[in-house]
Structure formats: C-alpha cells, structure tokens
Structure 1
Amino acid sequence: MTTKIGFLSFGHWQDAPGSRTRSAADALLQSIELAQAAENLGVDGAYVRVHHFERQLASPFPLLSAIAARTDRIEIGTGVIDMRYENPLYMAEEAAATDLISGGRLQLGVSRGSPEIALNGAESFGYRPGDGQTAADLARAKTELFLAAIDGAAVATTDPQRSGVRAGLAVQPQAPGLRERIWWGSGTRGTAVWAAGRGMNLQSSTLLSEDTGEPFDRLQAEQIRAYRAAWAEHDHGHDHGRTPRVSVSRSVLPVTTDLDRRFFGTHGEGDQVGLLEGVRARFGRTYVGEPDRLAAELAADEAVREADTVLFTVPNQLGVEYNAHILETIVRHVAPAIGWSGAAVGVPQN
C-alpha cells in the first residue's frame, strides 16, 4: 500500500514557443516554487532527475539545499544521480551538508545512470573504468566508497608530521541517519538484489533492460519481490534492522479541463519495447485520462501495489501553476485509490 507520494521533475528548459521554462534559471527557481506548492498540497516528496550535458537539471545539491531552506516537511531527493560522474568523497560531504540543512529530509537516489547524449561523458569529467572494468562496475565501486564515507568510515589518514600520530579520518560533516536514506535506481532484478545486499532502498526504474514479454508493471513487480526477498535473506541477522523503502515512478496526466485535453488528449500510451545499448528493454506506459479512470488503472497496477512510494513525473516546462494543478488533482482524486492518505497534513479529500 502506498504510504508516500512525490513528484519527479527532469527539469527541462528550452527557449521555445509554449515553454514556461526557457532558461536554466527558470528550471532551478521553478523547481523550488513547485516543491513549496507540493508541500502545501500535502505531497510527501520533491525529487529531481540528474542529467549531464543536456538542458536539464544537473547539479542537485545546491537545488535541494535551496528547496530545504524554503520548505519545512517535504522530503527532498534525486531519481537518480549517475555515480559514474561523481567524486564519492566530495559527494559525501555535499550530501551530508544538504541533509543537515534539511533537518534529515534527504532521500538520495543513485545508480549507474541511463543512456545519454554524451559519448563517454564521465570521461570528460575525468573518470573512466579501469582495465577489465565496465561503466557499471565503476558506478558500483564509487557507490560502495560513498556509502562507507557517509557511514563514518576512515577514508584518509592523518599526517604524522603534523599530528604526531597516524589515525584514520572520516569526511566531515557527518549526517546521522543519511546512510539509511540512500536508494539505488535499478533497471534489472540483478542490480535490485545487489542493492538489497548493501542496505539501500530501491528506486525501480521506468526503463527495465530485461524484457520478458510481460507487461511492464508485472515485470517491475517481479523485480521488487526479488529485492525484498534478497533483503530478507541479508537481514536474517538484523544486519540492517529496518524495513526498506521501495519507489516506482509513473507518468500520470489527469484530464479535467479543455486545456488538459489540448495538451495531452484523452488517452495515454501503452508499454514501449525496444533495443537499448543492444539489450531488449521495456519502458513504462503513460497514464492519461479522467481522474476516476486513472485511479482505477493505478490501483490495478501490480508494481504500484508492491511499492510504498509513488513518484509522479511532471511536465515541468508547462510551469509551476499548471504542474501544481496536476498535483492537486492527483492528491484529491488519484492517490487515495492507491492507499495514500494526506489526512496527517490536512489535505482535503473529496
């Protein structure tokens, strides 16, 4: 049953007719404003996608810190940061600082990343896989170091000539509890199992690179069940001592006005299947229609039923006011059908 909902923004900007988000400044400032509007509606989370070399959000920590400073309750997070591009120790410092500013509200999604416009983009940032190492291996190795760093492990040593002793040093600052709020963005059952073994929450991707012919929601539900089984196996000795969180994201566009119909029509798209980097992959569908119909369709979505957190992607280039309208419709008419209740924060229910 869904206990939390959030929005997920890719933060596109383009100086084009019809766009309300024409510059990077627009994308950043409007993300802050939308998070404030979402918090006022009772939405639980504000998440941003991270892409490099494109007209989209790229450097999440300044933005998430700004959102934290302008809000009080809403979770702030990523879905996801491509670890191939990151310096794990510097990222650990940034993440801890952001979490402290937010009062412990950071929910940080990381992963190997998705297909991108840049050829070997991470190499332009100075990072390349070692001999015999794949890009995925590099991302996972960096993630292991990042997890150790935010967990307070010694990742450097003192200079004996200055301190008189040789001792281990952890990065600073440290943010209590942050280690339990790291998520792995997984596109396969294998990486979901890997994430469970390392005590990370699961962000199941809207792009699964192991199509079996099953509908997307069933394939995703299988991945979630494999993750939870692996978590239980690793947790038999209370290694983690907590219940993991699992999120899925959905493109849900309620149609209640003539403007909605003009933008989106009245019907969405089904699953899409194609080759991605030589692998057969399945993409999740887009839900479009009247709120009552969307509520029924999402309630029947097998992966939505398995998850405890659902992130609704937003068409951010339509502006803050329009996206707040979408979120309000979801809050009032769609989210209650999947088990979510905003009663704790006083969200009106119809």
Structure 2
Amino acid sequence: MIRTLSFLTPGNYPDDDPHTGLEDTLRLFEFGESEGFDGAWIRQRHLEHGVSSAAVFLAAAGQRTSRIDLGTAVIPIGYENPFRLAEDLATVDVLSRGRLQAGFSTGMPHADLLGDLVHDGDWRDYDLSYGRIARLAEHLRGGYLGGPDTVIHSPGNVQRPRLQPHSPGLPGRLWYGGGSLRSVRWAAGEGLNLLTGNIVQGEETDDFVTAQLQQITEYRALASPGHPARVALGRVVVPLDGADRAARARYREYAASRHERTLRPQRMGERSILFAPDLVGTAAEIAERLHADAAVAAVTELRLELPYEFDRRDYTQILHDVRHLVAPALGWSPAAPAVAV
C-alpha cells in the first residue's frame, strides 16, 4: 500500500528565459501541495537547462509552500564541497522547518568539461565517491571541531565550533540514489534512506523488476536495527484521462521513443543497465500495472518522475490525474485536503 506520494520534476527552462521556467516549477510545487502530495523533489543538473543548485531552488520553494516535503534527487556529490553543501542544506532545512529530504549520487555528468572548473585543477585523484557523502552526513550530525576546550569568538558570543545552523533532524532525512547491489549495501551501512527509480543495474538477472526488488531486499536486510530504512521508488507515470487530443499524442510518442531501451539490457561500459517501461495509458490501466509490479508492492513511498520534455500545463494534468484517479487505487490518501490555488 502506498502511504507517501511525491513527484520529481526536472525544472526545465528555455535558454533565453530561465526565469519563466523556474517560476513555473515553483508554481508546480505550490500546486502539488494544494493537491495534497506529500513531497516535491527537484533534480540537480549542471550545464543544462535545469536547476543547477537544488539548495538555492528549494530555499525559494520553502517560502512558497508550508507543508510539503522538499527533496533533491539527486545532487552529484563529486561537484560539491561536503562542508559547504552541508551548511546550505542545513539552512534550507531550518528555513523550511524541517521539510528537506536531501538525496545524493556519486556520478559526475559532463566531468570532462566541468571537473577542472569545479575543483580548480586536477581532481582525478580526489575521493569523489561514497566517502564524500559520508563526510557531509558527519558534518550534519553536528560534531564539534577541535578539542573540548576549542572555542570561537564572534560579536556577542563565545561558542564551541560546529556546522551552523545545526538541524538535528536532517541526518535522518538523507537519501542515496542507488542502482546496484554495491550502492544499496553502502547506503544501508551508512544509515541513509534509499532512492530507487526506473534505471537499475542488472547484475544477476536481465529482468528489471527482479533486479530492483533484489536491491530493495538487500538494502533492508543490511539496514541497522532501529533505522527506518525508508525506500522511495520512482516510476514515470503519465495518465491520459485529463489530457486533450494533442497532449495524448505527445505522451504516446514520448513513450514510444523510449520503449526500445526497455526490451533488453543496455551495455554501458562493463555494466548491464535495465530500464523500466514508462506507464502511459488510462488511470485504470496504470493502476493495474502498478498493482502487478512486485517492486511497487514492496514499498510504501512512490515518487512520480515527470518527463523532461513536457511543460507546466502537462505536469499539472499528470499530477491531478495521478492524485485523484491512480493513487487512491493504490491505497494512498492525502495527509492534507486539497485546496484551491
């Protein structure tokens, strides 16, 4: 049964008018809250027409909303300084009164173009993987720097130094975007929650659902006793019910353009990558397919992954149809009633 319903949006904008696109995405967060969604997540993308700083965007989103969780899925840690990013995320969490859900990955898209610029020189010997995320989590836990007698002086204050602002609940709301057995094992060992989506690594099977379910099971088996071990699963869900004829045609074309990759494993270097099919159809058809998905049945948190190619009108129609027609069939009910925007 699905108890938590969220959505993930790319935050697209045209090259010559980024303000309009970013404003549309903020309005989408407002719309999601008004419809009763539990969470709204943003991607972080560098060098592209999308949100390049999730922390900055979510600080703005926190001022435009009051209840909905605000998520990052995901921040590529290789481009970040763990201490400085931890400061930014803690600030967002405090401003939003504890609504931040911070997700990370270890990938570095466009590293050949961007790596030297971010690290101001050769970065190839740096630890840009799991250890960087572990250090960020440790900073957020609020340990003091220096010895027990170390203090810093600021106007009107003497204090022991640690990352500020301190937000004690945030370490429990850190997530890792895992797609392999190795990554989910690491996330479980570090006490991070697990984000899993429509792309996983095929290690012992060529079937997507079997591989994803195996990763979820492995993660939970290794999670520390007492840790909630939350798992949020993503699917591309595009209902046709509320769409006009032109939108329906675009949705079907979108799904058809991505269908070939789901028919067999895709080779990426030495890895075998498996893709889940996009769920495009009537709400009844989509609900039936989700009911039959063993990985969906294994979780209580569902995240709708909105396609890159659509606009705000499409996104609001998709969210409205899922909230009213699909999610209730999966057992979900909103924590707060829908309100008019």
Q: Same fold (TM over 0.5)?
A: yes
The answer to whether the aligner puts 1:57 opposite 2:51 as a matched pair is yes
Q: 1:341 aligns with which of 327, 333, 338?
A: 333
2:277 matched to 1:290? Answer: no
2:248 corresponds to: 261
Tell me the distance in 2 between the aligned counterparts of 1:155 and 1:285.
48
Query: Deviation of residue 160 (structure 1)?
Result: 7.3
Q: Which amino acid aligns with 2:301?
A: T
Query: Given the alignment, which residue of 136, 139, 153 partners 2:143?
Result: 153
CA drift of 1:158 comes to 10
| Cα offsets for 1:181-207 (capped at 9, x unmatched) | 000111101110111111100001432
Shift of 1:260: 3.0
Contact persistence 2:197–2:235 (CA under 8 A) = no
Shift of 1:52: 1.1
Contact 2:196 2:231 in 1 (8 A): yes
Contact kept, 8 Å, 2:235 with 2:304, in 1: the verdict is yes
| 1:74, distance to aligned residue in structure 2 (A) | 0.4
Name the CA distance, whole Å, in 1 between partners of 2:147 and 2:313. 51
Matched residue type, 2:234: S
1:142-221 correspondence to structure 2 within 5 Å: 142-155=132-145, 169-221=161-213
C-alpha deviation, 1:159, in angstroms? 11
**C-alpha distance in structure 2 between counterparts of 1:59 and 1:24, whole Å:** 14
Contact preservation (8 Å) 2:191, 2:227? no
Aligned pairs for 1:235-254 within 5 A: 235=225, 241-254=226-239
Aligned partners of 1:254 and 1:317: how far apart in 2? 15
Which of 61, 75, 91 is 1:67 aligned to? 61
Cα distance per residue 1:104-123 (max 9 Å; x no partner): 00000011126x34426333
Is the 1:11–1:28 Cα contact (8 Å) retained in structure 2?
Answer: yes
AA aligned to 2:117 is: S
Q: Pick one of 270, 275, 284 that aligns with 2:267.
A: 275
Going from structure 1 to structure 2, the CA distance change for 1:160 and 1:147 (only over 3 Å counts) comes to closer
C-alpha distance in 2, partners of 1:200/1:8? 19
Per-residue CA deviation, residues 161-187 of structure 1 (Å, 9 max, x unaligned), is 986xxx963111111200000001111
Contact 1:251–1:287 at 8 Å: present in 2 too? yes
Q: Is the 8 A contact 2:151 2:161 kept in 1?
A: no
Q: Distance in 2 between matches of 1:172 and 1:36?
A: 29
Once residues 308 and 271 of structure 2 are traced to their aligned partners in structure 1, the CA distance between those partners, rounded to angstroms, is 30
1: distance between equivalents of 2:104 and 2:115?
15
Aligned-residue sequence identity (percent) comes to 30
**In the aligned structure 1, how far is the partner of 2:7 from the partner of 2:137?**
25
1:37 aligns with 2:31: yes
Deviations 1:25-46 (A, max 9, x none): 2232111100000111111111
For structure 1, the 5+ residue unaligned runs are: 16-21, 236-240
The one of 216, 228, 244 equivalent to 1:224 is 216
Distance in 1, Cα, partners of 2:97 & 2:277: 35
Instruction: Compute the displacement of 1:95 (Å).
Output: 0.5
Alpha-carbon RMSD across the aligned residues, in angstroms, is: 2.6
Q: Which of 314, 320, 323 matches 2:306?
A: 314
C-alpha distance in structure 1 between counterparts of 2:195 and 2:61, whole Å: 21
Deviates more, 1:254-263 or 1:195-204: 254-263
Give the Cα separation in 1 of the matches to 2:230 and 2:91.
Answer: 23
* 328 and 194 in structure 1: CA distance in 2 versus 1, 3 angstrom threshold: same
Change (3 A) 1:155 1:279: farther
Code of the residue aligned with 1:200 in structure 2: it is: L
Alignment equivalent of 1:91, drawn from 85, 88, 97: 85
Aligned pair in 2 of structure 1 residues 170, 39: CA closer, same or farther (>3 Å)? same
2:156 paired residue number? none
Q: Distance in 2 between matches of 1:13 and 1:6?
A: 22
Q: Using the alignment, how far apart are the partners of 1:11 and 1:230 within structure 2?
A: 34
The answer as to whether partners of 1:78 and 1:108 remain within 8 angstroms in 2 is yes
Separation in structure 1 between the aligned mates of residue 100 and residue 116 of structure 2, nearest angstrom: 28
The 2-side partners of 1:258 and 1:124 are apart by 46
1:230-269 CA-to-partner distances (Å, cap 9, x unmatched) read: 00xx32xxxxx33121111111111123133221128663
1:299 matched to 2:291: yes
Q: Does 1:9 align with 2:13?
A: no
Q: Write the deviation string for residues 251-289 of structure 1: whole angstroms up to 9, x where unpaired.
A: 111112313322112866372531224322112211111
| Aligned mates of 1:120, 1:158 — CA distance in 2 | 43
Contact 2:51 2:57 in 1 (8 A): no
Question: C-alpha separation between the residues in 1 aligned to 2:131 and 2:107?
Answer: 14
1:108 to 84, 102, 113: 102
